[in-house]
């Protein structure tokens, strides 16, 4: 893992009570902002990142020198226009890009938390985000937006801090993690924990860390982000370097090589324990049991929603989003929704999909008009 | 200044009270719901199948869900709106009966407008040419028309009776989209368009 110096953080010297009943004595939030906050502080958009994302949603990520994960969507003149909006993006609680997580030093033991880090939930992550918004002195956000796990956080904002947001934009997300989603996550976790270098989470002081396990976890997860037809279109049965089968167990098919590359590049930037904690938080997520069901959870009448899904996303299918919309419809008319036709699967939310961008842009323009900012 | 609405939409909007909660099924570019929310403080929502039209609505700050009247009305619970509007769309649905039942389930009342296939000129055209009629409001060839379930005023009334649907009001329009004042007989012959207001019995 690369060192993370010069990351912007704020230190919160307050106890954080977690859903598990445990507490963190103090914590840090690593975050980035883009654009300028206007005088009335009405132009702030909070972007929530997905499972393996970070606070560097646009411009150059100083850690890996690559473009931010939503660079095509966020920036000057883009759909989320940083010439107009003040964008905030923070690393989630439990993450490994500067916010307190399993690789952080436990102030009580002066050693990395490792498995001593308490299990966290999506709600815990959002509580921390809300604390950051308070620290930035913003009373009400123009919007909270996120894809996949970021969408879960956006929905959590709606149910926990609805009065502090004008619009919530969950993309390719759901109100809960399904049995199938939990199953895939569990295989990933087992792969990490089966790696001898994992050492029950205590590997920070050692030379080796569970590269192989984490890499396999990423490979499995990556399949769930793509659709069958996209895999077929991109790779087919093509071989990587030869026209003939080698009759050996080396990387041979292009899809094998692609997944291997995904795995290897991932372990360079992500902490295995963070992967365990964050996937667990997603698995625990289920708003239908919160506040006595979805209808009650989404009973805030003033909130405005824009849901976007992708037709070939089988990890977070449109039907899940429709369940939420049905519940909101009961009390609130301010719900917009579009299913974008694409064969790119769940990953589409990270890609430059013209119809996705045009719908999101239209919604943002409309809300700017509605709120007269 | 609010844009002037299409004639039938103007009449539909006059049937809506202030502060109502309205669902416009097949809202298109959102002209009607935009008018209703600005002029009558109506809490509006639209359903539109085409993404481009839906985006047009979003840009105006309107709330619209992408959806199909044939399949997606189940997403709305009973009596969740005071009025549900379906303008110039029923003839293009795959399941008109199911759609109408859904409209009056979701809304306390439904306003449904459609071109009257019983209009005398349509009968005349068909009688003399022996070909499927084409005109201003039905401009398509029979083989590529979206209007797969055309009906007359009498057909619609019959369907309402069959499903025990109450007809609360009926506005008849001439070819210029103007209200036809008081005709008791021959309405099915003389009306070019019709706007029905229906509800559960």
Q: Is B181 exposed, middle or buried (0-12, 13-18, 19+ CB in 10 A)?
A: exposed
- From the list B21, B58, B77, which residue is nearest A363 (CB)? B58
- Residues of each domain in chain A carrying CATH 1.10.1740.110: 181-279
Per-residue pLDDT, averaged over A142-146, amounts to 98
Among the listed residues A54, A124, A313, A347, the single catalytic one is: A313
Write the pLDDT tens digit of every residue in A30-58.
Answer: 999 999 999 999 999 999 999 999 999 99
Please tell me the predicted confidence (pLDDT) of residue B1: 40
Q: How far apart are CA A107 and CA B47, in angstroms?
A: 54
Q: How far apart are CA B192 and CA B120, in angstroms?
A: 8
Q: How far apart are CA A359 and CA A344, in angstroms?
A: 17
Write the pLDDT tens digit of every residue in A302-357.
Answer: 999 999 999 999 999 999 999 999 999 988 999 999 999 999 999 999 999 999 99
Q: How far apart are CA B65 and CA B46, in angstroms?
A: 6
Which chain A residues have a beta carbon less than 8 Å from that of B66? 337-339
Write the pLDDT tens digit of every residue in B129-142.
Answer: 999 988 887 899 99
Helix pair angle (B31-40, B7-15), 10° resolution: 40
Which chain A residues have a beta carbon less than 8 Å from that of B21? 333
Asked if A170 and A126 touch (Cβ cutoff 8 Å), the reply is: no
Asked if A2 and A271 touch (Cβ cutoff 8 Å), the reply is: no
Per-residue pLDDT, averaged over A260-269, amounts to 95
Asked if A211 and A197 touch (Cβ cutoff 8 Å), the reply is: yes
Q: Which residue from B minimizes the CA distance to A339?
A: B66
Is residue B63 scored above 50 in pLDDT? Answer: yes
Query: Which of B23, B25, B58, B73 should we substitute to test contact with A (largest number of A Cβ atoms within 10 Å)?
Result: B58
Q: Give the number of other Cβ atoms within 10 Å of residue A364's Cβ.
A: 24
Q: B37 versus A4: which is more confidently predicted?
A: B37
Query: First CA to last CA across chain A, in angstroms?
Result: 42
Write the pLDDT tens digit of every residue in A225-260.
Answer: 999 999 999 999 999 988 899 999 999 999 999 999
Please tell me the predicted confidence (pLDDT) of residue A36: 98
Write the pLDDT tens digit of every residue in B153-194.
Answer: 999 999 999 999 999 999 999 998 889 987 767 999 999 999
Which chain B residues have a beta carbon less than 8 Å from that of A366? 57-62
Domains recognised in chain B with CATH numbers: 7-200 (3.40.50.150)
Contact with chain B for residue A369, Cβ under 8 A? yes
| Cα dihedral B59, A79, A129, A300 in deg (nearest 10) | 10
Verdict on whether the full-model pTM lies above 0.80: yes
Q: Is A351 exposed, middle or buried (0-12, 13-18, 19+ CB in 10 A)?
A: middle
- From the list A326, A340, A365, which residue is nearest B75 (CB)? A326
Please tell me the predicted confidence (pLDDT) of residue B185: 79
Write the pLDDT tens digit of every residue in A168-208.
Answer: 999 999 999 999 999 999 999 999 999 999 999 999 999 99
∠ CA(A155), CA(A158), CA(A164), 5° rounding? 140
Tokens encoding B1: 């200044």
Please tell me the predicted confidence (pLDDT) of residue B181: 83
Query: Which of B51, B77, B80 should we substitute to test contact with A (largest number of A Cβ atoms within 10 Å)?
Result: B51
Q: How far apart are CA A120 and CA A125, in angstroms?
A: 8
Which chain A residues have a beta carbon less than 8 Å from that of B71? none
Active site residue A205: no
Smallest Cα distance from A328 to chain B, Å: 10
Per-residue pLDDT, averaged over A209-218, amounts to 97
Which chain B residues have a beta carbon less than 8 Å from that of A322? 75
Active site residue A222: no
Contact with chain B for residue A301, Cβ under 8 A? no
Active site residue A346: yes
> CA A7, A12, A15, A21 torsion: positive or negative?
negative
Interchain proximity A326–B77, CB inside 8 Å: yes
Please tell me the predicted confidence (pLDDT) of residue B7: 83
Give domain A9-178+287-371's CATH architecture: 3-Layer(aba) Sandwich (3.40)
Interchain proximity B43–A322, CB inside 8 Å: no
Please tell me the predicted confidence (pLDDT) of residue A315: 98
Please tell me the predicted confidence (pLDDT) of residue A2: 52
ipTM above 0.95, yes or no: no
Interchain proximity A366–B58, CB inside 8 Å: yes
Please tell me the predicted confidence (pLDDT) of residue B143: 95
Widest CA span in chain A: 67
Asked if B108 and B23 touch (Cβ cutoff 8 Å), the reply is: no
Tell me which DSSP letter residue A27 carries: E
Which chain B residues have a beta carbon less than 8 Å from that of A365? 58-59
Q: How far apart are CA A266 and CA A217, in angstroms?
A: 10
Q: Which residues contact B64 (CB under 8 A, 6 or more apart)?
A: A336, B27, B30, B45, B46, B47, B48, B54, B57, B58
Contact with chain B for residue A338, Cβ under 8 A? yes
Which chain A residues have a beta carbon less than 8 Å from that of B23? 333
CATH 3.20.20.70 fits A181-279, yes or no: no
∠ CA(A260), CA(A264), CA(A270), 5° rounding? 135
Please provide the average confidence, as pLDDT, over all residues in chain A. Answer: 96
Q: B134 versus A67: which is more confidently predicted?
A: A67
Alpha-helical regions (H) of chain A:
122-135, 149-160, 179-194, 211-225, 228-234, 254-269, 272-284, 294-297, 318-329, 354-371
CB pairs under 8 A between A and B: 65
Is residue B145 scored above 80 in pLDDT? Answer: yes
Per-residue pLDDT, averaged over B25-43, amounts to 96
Q: How far apart are CA A30 and CA A82, in angstroms?
A: 20
Please tell me the predicted confidence (pLDDT) of residue B3: 54
DSSP code string of chain B: -PPPPPHHHHHHHHHSPTT-EEEEET-TT-HHHHHHHHHH--EEEEEES-HHHHHHHHHTT--EEE--TTTGGGGS-TT-EEEEEEES-GGG-S-HHHHHHHHHHHEEEEEEEEE-TT-HHHHHHHHHH-S----SS--S-GGG-S--S---HHHHHHHHHHTTEEEEEEEEE-TTSPBPP---S-HHHH-SEEEEEEEE-
Interchain proximity B21–A329, CB inside 8 Å: no
Smallest Cα distance from B153 to chain A, Å: 32
Smallest Cα distance from B47 to chain A, Å: 9
Contact with chain A for residue B68, Cβ under 8 A? no
- From the list B43, B51, B56, which residue is nearest A355 (CB)? B51
Please tell me the predicted confidence (pLDDT) of residue A6: 81
CA contacts within 13 A on the Cβ side of A325: 32
The closest alpha carbon to A167, from A339, A367, A321, A320, belongs to A367
Tell me which DSSP letter residue A29 carries: E
The closest alpha carbon to A1, from A207, A192, A260, belongs to A207
Q: Give the number of other Cβ atoms within 10 Å of residue A72's Cβ.
A: 16
Smallest Cα distance from B55 to chain A, Å: 6
Which chain B residues have a beta carbon less than 8 Å from that of A306? 58
H or E, element range at A101 = none
Among the listed residues A42, A148, A174, A327, the single catalytic one is: A148
Is residue A1 scored above 90 in pLDDT? Answer: no
Smallest Cα distance from A266 to chain B, Å: 36
Tokens encoding A218: 């990423």
| Cα dihedral A207, A212, A214, A217 in deg (nearest 10) | -170
The residues that bridge with B44 in the sheet, in sequence order, are B22
Q: Is A324 helix (H, G, I), strand (E, B) or coil?
A: helix
Asked if B79 and B107 touch (Cβ cutoff 8 Å), the reply is: yes
Interchain proximity B65–A337, CB inside 8 Å: yes
Please provide the average confidence, as pLDDT, over all residues in chain B. Answer: 94
Q: How far apart are CA A207 and CA A203, in angstroms?
A: 8
């Amino acid at each position: 893992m690369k060192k993370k110096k010069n990351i912007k953080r704020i230190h919160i010297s307050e106890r954080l009570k977690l859903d598990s009943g445990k507490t963190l004595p103090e914590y840090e939030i690593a975050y980035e902002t883009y654009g300028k906050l206007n005088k009335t502080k009405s132009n702030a958009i909070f972007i929530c990142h997905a499972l393996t994302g970070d606070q560097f949603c646009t411009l150059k990520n100083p850690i890996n020198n690559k473009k931010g994960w939503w660079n095509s969507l966020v920036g000057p003149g883009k759909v989320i226009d940083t010439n107009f909006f003040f964008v905030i993006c923070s690393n989630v609680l439990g993450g490994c890009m500067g916010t307190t997580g399993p690789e952080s030093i436990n102030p009580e033991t002066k050693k990395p938390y490792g498995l001593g880090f308490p299990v966290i939930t999506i709600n815990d992550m959002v509580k921390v985000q809300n604390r950051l918004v308070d620290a930035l002195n913003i009373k009400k956000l123009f919007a909270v937006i996120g894809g996949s796990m970021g969408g879960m956080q956006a929905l959590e904002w709606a149910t926990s801090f609805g009065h502090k947001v004008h619009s919530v934009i969950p993309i390719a997300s759901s109100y809960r993690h399904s049995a199938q989603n939990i199953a895939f996550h569990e295989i990933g976790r087992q792969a990490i924990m089966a790696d001898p270098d994992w050492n029950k989470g205590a590997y920070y002081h050692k030379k080796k860390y569970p590269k192989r396990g984490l890499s396999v976890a990423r490979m499995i997860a990556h399949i769930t982000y793509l659709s069958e037809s996209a895999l077929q279109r991109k790779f087919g049965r093509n071989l990587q370097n030869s026209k003939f089968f080698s009759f050996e167990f080396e990387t041979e098919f292009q899809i094998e090589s692609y997944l291997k590359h995904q795995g290897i590049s991932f372990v360079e930037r992500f902490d295995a324990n963070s992967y365990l904690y964050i996937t667990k938080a997603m698995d625990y997520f289920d708003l239908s049991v919160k506040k006595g069901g979805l209808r009650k959870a989404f009973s805030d009448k003033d909130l405005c929603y824009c849901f976007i899904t992708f037709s070939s996303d089988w990890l977070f299918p449109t039907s899940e989003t429709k369940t939420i919309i049905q519940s909101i419809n009961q009390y609130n008319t301010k719900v917009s929704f579009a299913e974008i036709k694409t064969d790119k699967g769940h990953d589409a939310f990270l890609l430059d999909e013209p119809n996705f961008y045009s719908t999101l842009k239209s919604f943002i323009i409309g809300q700017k008009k509605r709120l007269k900012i | 200044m609010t844009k002037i609405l299409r004639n039938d939409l103007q009449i539909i909007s006059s049937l809506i009270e202030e502060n109502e909660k309205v669902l416009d099924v097949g809202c298109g570019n959102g002209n009607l719901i935009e008018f209703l929310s600005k002029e009558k403080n109506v809490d509006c929502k639209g359903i539109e199948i085409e993404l481009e039209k839906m985006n047009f609505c979003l840009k105006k700050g309107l709330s619209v869900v992408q959806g199909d009247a044939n399949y997606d009305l189940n997403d709305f619970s009973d009596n969740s709106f005071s009025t549900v509007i379906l303008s110039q769309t029923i003839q293009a649905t795959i399941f008109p009966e199911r759609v109408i039942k859904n409209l009056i389930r979701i809304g306390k009342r439904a306003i449904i407008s459609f071109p009257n296939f019983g209009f005398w000129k349509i009968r005349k055209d068909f009688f003399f040419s022996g070909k499927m009629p084409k005109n201003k409001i039905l401009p398509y060839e029979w083989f590529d028309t979206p209007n797969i379930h055309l009906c007359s005023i009498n057909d619609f009334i019959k369907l309402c009776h069959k499903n025990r649907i109450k007809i609360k009001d009926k506005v008849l329009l001439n070819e210029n989209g103007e209200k036809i004042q008081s005709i008791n007989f021959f309405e099915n012959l003389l009306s070019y368009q019709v706007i029905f207001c229906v509800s559960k019995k």
